[in-house]
Amino acid sequence: MYRQLLPILFLALGLAACADDSEQYQQDVHVVATMGSGLVLATENGSSLSYLKADLERPSFERFFEAKDATISWVRRGPTGPLGKELFALLTPDDARDPHQTVRLVRLEPPSKDSLVYELALAFGSVLFSPDGRTAILANFSGDEAHGFYNPGEIALLDLQAEASKDNPRSLTLDTKGRPIYSIFFLDPIEISGQTRRLAAVSLSGAFKLIDLEDPTAALPIVPLSAASNASSVAVVEIQAQSERGARPAMLFVRTNDGSDILAVSLTKGALSDTSLAASINQLDTAGKPQGLSLLVDENTGALHVIALANARLAVIDVDTADRFFVSLGESMDTLIELPDGDLALLGQGSTTVRFLAVKDVLELRDGALTVLKLHQAISDMVQLDELRFLCASNGSEALLIDLGKRAATRLYLGESGYNWNQGEVFEDTAYLLLPDNALIGVVDLAASHPSSLMLDDFASALFLLEDKRIGLAWHDIDWGRVTMFSLDEPTRATAVIYDGFLMAGVLD
C-alpha cells in the first residue's frame, strides 16, 4: 500500500516546494504593453516581468526581469518616439527600513534582460514622457496611491538621452502653493521672445504651472484657471501652444473641465531673469462648455482665432480682441477632430450628422463654411478604430463606419443581432472587434464592407495587434494562460494558433 502512495507523496512534496516559480499561476497576471513582437506581462504586486513572444509556429514565454528585494509598483511603456520599444518599471523596496534599499526606476527593452537603473528619492505614482522622447517626468498625481508624508510638488526630471547619475534624474520641488498635481502636459516647442523653449504645463488643482524642461529652475508662472468659488476642482483638459508671430506674443490656449472659457495665456519675457516668463490671461468666452479647440490664422490680417466646439455651435474668437461669432452645427456635438488637410470634423454621441468645417473659409463664409454628412442613424457607442475612422454600434446587427478622411459613412450589416463590441483595432484596411460576450472576433474588411467571424475557443478579454509580426492576439483570462494568435494577412480560424499553459511554466520544476 505504501508503494502506491509514494508517487502521490512525491507529487505533493514537489508541489509544496513550488513557490516563486509559480508566481504567475497564483497571482493576477495582466498585459502591461505590447512590445515589438510580443506582450509584456506582469503580476499584481509582483517582482518579475515576462515576455510572451507571438509566433504562429514557435511562440514562447520567458521571464526577462526579476527585481531583487523589491516589488514592481507599476510598469509603463516608454515614449513612442525612437525609444518606442522600452519599458519603465518602478521598484519599491520590500523593506522600507533598510537604508541600502532605494526606490528605483528600471529601464528595459524586452525581451532583452539588460536594464538601466535610476535611483529615485521618492516612489512616484506616475511617469509621463515628452513626445520627442527626450524627457520623462515622474510625479505623484492626485489619485495615485502614495504612502507616508511627501511633498505633492516633488517631481523628478529624467533626461532619457543622458546616463544615469546623481543628477539624472533630477529631483525638483515645485512650489505649487499646496495644490496637488493632476497631470502634466508636454507642450510643443514654442518660440518666446526669440528663444525656443521646451515647456511642460503641470496641471494643478485650479491652476497650472509651467516648467522649462531645459532649465527647471527658471522662474515661470503659476496661472490660475478660475476665479470662481469652486476653482480648486478645475483642471486642465487640453492645452495648445502657439509661438510668437511678429509683434504678437507666444500664447497658450487652455481648455478646462469647467466653465465656458478658453484661456488665452500670453507669454512674454519676464523681468526676474533672462529665462523667466510673464503671463497675462484673456478669457475667451465660448458661451458653452468647450469640448475641443483648434487654431486658425487669418491669412489676410495675421490675426489668430480660436475655434471652439461648445454644444451645438462653434465659437470663432479673435484672440486679439475677443470678438467672436458663432457657426451653428444644428445639433449637439462633443468631438472635434483636425483632419490632415486642416479642416475640422465635428461629431458626437447622439448626433445624426457629421459636419466638416472648411477652416480657411470660416472667417468669410461663417455658416457657409460647413458641409454636412447625414447619417442614417444617430451615433452611439462609438469606438475609434484609428485616427480618422470610427465604428458605431447600431441595433447590434448593423454598424456604421465613419471615415473622416474620406468624409463618408458606410453601413455595415453584421448578420445576427445582439452583438456588441467594446474594443476595435484597425490594421491596414481591416477592423478587428472584440466581442466580450461572444467567443469570437469580428473581422470587417473596410474596403469591401465585408464582415466575418473568427471563432475562438473561449471568451477573450483583450485584443492586440502586433503590426511588426502581422499577428493578432486575443487574450483569454485563464489562470494557466491562453492566447489565440492569428495571421493579420489571413485572419481566419484556419490560421489561428492557441498558445496554452504558458503561465504554468516552472510550476512542476
Neighbours of 249 (CB within 10 A): 19
Question: Buried b / exposed e across 48-72, counting CB within 10 Å, b at 16+?
Answer: bbbbbbbbeeebebebbbebeebeb
Convert 364-394 into a string of H (helix), E (strand) and C (coil). Answer: HHHHHHEEEEECCCCCCCEEECCCCEEEEEC
- How many whole angstroms separate alpha carbon 310 and alpha carbon 334? 8
- How many whole angstroms separate alpha carbon 24 and alpha carbon 41? 9
DSSP 8-state secondary structure symbol assigned to residue 415: S
Question: What is the secondary structure of 263-323 as a DSSP string?
Answer: EEEEEEE-SSSTT-EEEEEEEEE-SS-EEEEEEEE-TTT--EEEEEEETTEEEEEETTT--
Q: Taking the complex as a whole, how short is the minimal distance between the CB of residue 223 and other proteins, in angstroms?
A: 6
- The x, y and z cell numbers of residue 5, run together, are 502512495
Question: Buried b / exposed e across 6-24, counting CB within 10 Å, b at 16+?
Answer: eeeeeeeeeeeeeeebbbb
Q: Taking the complex as a whole, how short is the minimal distance between the CB of residue 452 and other proteins, in angstroms?
A: 55
CA pseudo-torsion sign 464, 467, 469, 471: positive
Q: Taking the complex as a whole, how short is the minimal distance between the CB of residue 122 and other proteins, in angstroms?
A: 24
Relative to beta strand 222-224, strand 207-212 is antiparallel
DSSP 8-state secondary structure symbol assigned to residue 249: P
Q: Taking the complex as a whole, how short is the minimal distance between the CB of residue 221 and other proteins, in angstroms?
A: 5
**Cα dihedral 224→229→235→238 (10° resolution):** -70
- The x, y and z cell numbers of residue 336, run together, are 472635434
Q: Taking the complex as a whole, how short is the minimal distance between the CB of residue 281 and other proteins, in angstroms?
A: 5
- Residues of this chain that interact with other proteins (CB under 8 A) are 177, 219-224, 226-227, 247-249, 266, 268, 270-272, 276, 278-285, 317-318, 320-324
Q: Taking the complex as a whole, how short is the minimal distance between the CB of residue 227 and other proteins, in angstroms?
A: 4
- How many whole angstroms separate alpha carbon 78 and alpha carbon 127? 9
Q: Taking the complex as a whole, how short is the minimal distance between the CB of residue 267 and other proteins, in angstroms?
A: 11
Q: Taking the complex as a whole, how short is the minimal distance between the CB of residue 251 and other proteins, in angstroms?
A: 11
Residue 248 or 493 having the CB closest to other proteins: 248
Q: Taking the complex as a whole, how short is the minimal distance between the CB of residue 325 and other proteins, in angstroms?
A: 9
- How many whole angstroms separate alpha carbon 192 and alpha carbon 221? 14
Q: Taking the complex as a whole, how short is the minimal distance between the CB of residue 299 and other proteins, in angstroms?
A: 17
- How many whole angstroms separate alpha carbon 271 and alpha carbon 274? 8
At 494, give phi and psi (nearest 5°). -60, -35
**How wide is the angle at C-alpha 202 spanned by C-alphas 288 and 384, nearest 5°?**
55
- How many whole angstroms separate alpha carbon 130 and alpha carbon 111? 24
- The x, y and z cell numbers of residue 415, run together, are 448578420
Q: Taking the complex as a whole, how short is the minimal distance between the CB of residue 202 and other proteins, in angstroms?
A: 13
